Amino acid sequence: MRGSKKRRTPVAKLEAQVAELQAALVRSRGVGQALRRVGQAVGAGVELDELLTLVVETTTEVLGAERATLYLLEDGKLVSRVKQGDELQTIAMEIGQGLAGHVAKSGRTLRVNDAYSDPRFDATWDERSGYRTSSAVAVPLQTNTGQTIGVLQVLNKRGGDQGPQPFTLHDAELLKALATHAVVSLEKTALLGRLLANNEQLAQTTVRLERSLRDLELLYELETLMARADTVTDMARSAITLIAGACDAAAGALLHFAENTHTLYVVNVDQPGEVREIIVQPGEGIAARAMEHCELLTIDDPMEVRDPQRVCERLKMDVHSAIAAPLGNEEIGIAGALALYNHRGQPSQFSEEDGALLKLASVNVATELRLFESRQARERSERLGSIGRLRSGMMHDLRSPLTVINGYMQLMEVADLPEAREEYGAIIAEQFEIIGAMQRDLLAYARGETALLIRKVYLSKFFDDLTRQYQPELDAAGISLQLVPCRTRVAYFDERGMARAVQNLVRNGIEALDGQGGKLTITCASDDENFVMKVSDNGPGIPKAIRRRLFEPFVTAGKVTGTGLGLANVKQVVEDHGGSVAVRSSSRGTCFTVRIPGAMRPHGLRSRRAGDQRGGSRS
């Protein structure tokens, strides 16, 4: 009997070891599964509070504890916000206070099997909650650089019927492993949170930049189109079409206040070619109210729009939403207002972004309107001044045909042959036609029907005056100027315009010689009835890369002070006279040739009319 008992003892020990190993394996599997759950939660991008709750639940389960708490350092304190059950518990303590505070301060693991006999234990939370702490393990949460960012603590290891059991060294090591994994998970979550926040910020910044770029492109196009407009009607069409398209509006209106009159220009976006003009009273309609109150107005209630019925009739629609911004402000003056009607998108109301864009565009429109009005006033003043200055010159020009008429009238008195009298009468009639043409040219200029005032120009005096203007600069630059005069004494063109063209060509030659000295030559000639002028220099020539685009605005190369506008202005003046300008260039120099057809006889020149000067500017 004793022998059989001896034989069973090793078997029993082996069975106990197997059972212990199986229990350890189960615990290891549980730990692995718990760590995987935490890792999966991090990968799924859960919120920080959810992750902390999962870490606490996993730690409680793996160590068989009654409770677990995860503290994080915030503003010099240990703070825990962990959801247990349906409640989110918040605990805060100073560094060095309680078991967790001691671990945070020392950075070392602490294992206590009788909490109330340990002087480091703080029973305040037990007294407040009614819980009884008997044993505890707390480990620091440390980064790979050794920085403590928090504490992971477990309380009261469950022992079944036997009550709470003490935590073992193995439990402490396991808690340290869980803490290390928790730190990695927290860092990944924090990194992911920062990445998501940065991505969101980047996306918002991208949207703002794209919107700003669209706004800048819109404003540039708006400024370009309005600068080319010849009338307020053209400006209204350009502004409304562009801005309404950007804000997804069905129609728009430009209110222009000038000469004590409020003129409303309305455009239906589906029919941009039709611009309707309506005279409105102060405060009548949303545009007039925006101008009167000098503020952005947005109306979503059709009953509050209160635009006159004739506005809706000309827009060919009922207005259910509108937005309007004043043109200008009280400091610089208000030139009118800009309004949009009926937002086409969803929602059907205009947004704050639409209002911001409308305010931005209204500043540009107000500026362009003021420039347009200033330009018109200046042109009227210049025309009237030119007419006054040239009146005496025209009276002098009238002497020639009147002298011819007087002479042939005297010849008619003594002529006996009918053929002679008929010939003299035809000559007299031709002189009257010349006088009539002079009259018509002056009236066309005064009315603004042409940008040119064609008159007789004495070429010698014309070129002598221009030479005298540039002589000091030519001398300083070491440039000699040779003038080859025309055999014909007079030509017929706009003196001011041609003077600007010659000045730009001379300026271009001076800049091309670039202070190195050289020679400029102005040659004047006539080709039948055509006026021909050549301006040449012996500079290095024009780069081949820009020769074909030389007369386009802002095309320049190799000039420190060049703007690329001088030759474009020359081309404009010459083409206004119905003429042409050409260029030949090589490494030995450059020659510009200006040809004005019909300029060598009175009223032979056919200039462009005022409406044709900006080809394509009218829609």
Three-class DSSP labels, 318-339: CCCCEEEEEEEECCCEEEEEEE
- pLDDT at residue 445 in the model: 60
CA distance 316 to 341: 12
- pLDDT at residue 523 in the model: 92
Concatenated DSSP letters of 67-127: EEEEEEEETTEEEEEEEETTEEEEEEEETTSHHHHHHHHH-S-EEES-GGGSTT---HHHH
Asked whether this chain's domains 39-193 and 228-377 adopt the same fold, the reply is yes
What is the average pLDDT score of the chain?
A: 79
CA distance 377 to 256: 16
CA distance 53 to 516: 83
| CATH fold of 228-377 | Beta-Lactamase (3.30.450)
- Identify the CA nearest to 247 among candidates 147, 138, 349: 349
CB environment 225-258: b (16+ within 10 A), e (fewer): bbeebeebbbbbbbbbbbbbebbbbbbbbbbbbe
Strands (E), 394-445: none
Mean pLDDT of successive 10-residue segments in the chain (619 residues)?
52 66 59 59 55 75 84 87 62 88 92 91 86 90 87 85 80 84 75 75 82 81 80 87 88 88 89 86 87 88 75 83 86 85 84 87 86 79 62 58 77 83 83 72 62 81 83 84 87 84 86 85 87 92 81 63 68 88 91 90 58 36
- Identify the CA nearest to 329 among candidates 317, 320, 337, 318: 337
| CATH fold of 39-193 | Beta-Lactamase (3.30.450)
Q: Confirm if 449 and 613 have CB atoms less than 8 A apart.
A: no
Using a cut of 0.85, tell me whether the model's pTM lies above it: no
Q: Confirm if 305 and 319 have CB atoms less than 8 A apart.
A: yes
Give the max Cα distance, the chain. Answer: 182
The verdict on whether omega for the bond into residue 553 sits within 30 degrees of 0, i.e. cis, is no
Q: CA end-to-end span of the chain, whole Å?
A: 121
- pLDDT at residue 572 in the model: 81
- The residue written with tokens 């008929």 in the block is 422
Q: Report, at the CATH architecture level, how domain 454-612 is classified.
A: 2-Layer Sandwich (3.30)
CA distance 493 to 500: 12
- pLDDT at residue 617 in the model: 31
Q: Helices 48-63 and 169-228 meet at what angle, rounded to 10?
A: 170
- pLDDT at residue 519 in the model: 92
Domain borders along the chain are 39-193, 228-377, 380-447, 454-612
CATH of 380-447, one of 4.10.860, 3.40.50, 2.60.40, 1.10.287: 1.10.287
CA distance 160 to 278: 93
Concatenated DSSP letters of 247-299: TTEEEEEEEEEETTEEEEEEEETTSTT--EEEEE-TT-SHHHHHHHHTS-EEE
- pLDDT at residue 616 in the model: 33
